[in-house]
Amino acid sequence: QDFINEAMKYKTYIINHINNIINKNELDNSLAPVLDTNIQVFDTNALRREDLRLLIGTKDVIKSDELLQDLDEESSGDYEPIVKPKARDFNEKRVVNIKPAGFQWDHISERDWVHYKFEKSYLLINSTVTKHEAEELCHTFNGKHRDEEITLAVPISSGEQQFINRYLFDIKHVSKDVWIGQNPYNYNKHNKKSAGSPRYQPYENWAKGRPSLTKPCVQIRSPFNVFGDLDRSVGAKWEDVSCFRRNLVLCERPQHWTQQRFIRVAQELQRELD
């Protein structure tokens, strides 16, 4: 809601000047409060298609099913979205070596991140660690500074969970369990509060009989058995387990857009609405 209020505050600027910016290929100073070339202001973890409609000053329904499908598409591998969000403060050609004490890590570059819609990016770290070590790896994976925006993955919808499952188990063929950032105690608390009310029901993907609420950490269980065979009866479900287990790590970060990329998305939407 805060994002939408802020967007509405500045939408007049965008409506009046967006074409001027594109045609002149330069920034208008009056847009400085919302479009700053020195910072990346739009976080797609908060930015949604409906917000874009507000920003370009229309409440009309988009008539093109093709554009709606593009905006909802999950981008990974060879799929290129309408606007591919720019990586945040990373040089794609620069390879970073992750070497926490006592562990041997692979080299990781920007190409190792996969993108879900225009919302999040994921990174699989193919080494087994405890839950605490996994959290620290995500926060400090570049080895230079702590980044609180990079955390263990927290799936919040069935679409996101399906994307993660395809990435981990269909593409990467991960045979080990994977740490995620869910909290079984929070789910128990929310479910008690929302019992009998459809207004708030958090997304969940628990295995049968879970959460047991006896262990505080959560993993996605691999559907592959120890022999590498797919066990359909298991499924890629959540399990609450001991935090001292050693699992693989799935990190996530929000996608950030520069002002130029935001304008390109708004321009695509405007063409569909005209």
**pLDDT the model gives residue 27:** 40
pLDDT band at 71 (very low <50, low <70, confident <90, very high): very low
Quick: pLDDT tens for 139-149.
886 556 678 88
Q: Which domains does the chain carry? A: 2-74+257-273 (no CATH), 96-254 (3.10.100.10)
- Output the pTM of the full model: 0.57
**pLDDT the model gives residue 110:** 77
132-141 per-residue burial string, b: 16 or more CB within 10 A, e: under 16: ebbbebbbeb
Q: Does 211 sit behind a cis peptide bond, omega within 30 degrees of 0 on the bond before it? A: yes
Distance CA 257, CA 180 (A): 25
Quick: pLDDT tens for 242-258.
999 999 999 999 987 77
The separation between CA 221 and the C-alpha centre of its own chain, rounded to angstroms, equals 20
Q: Is the pLDDT of residue 232 over 60?
A: yes
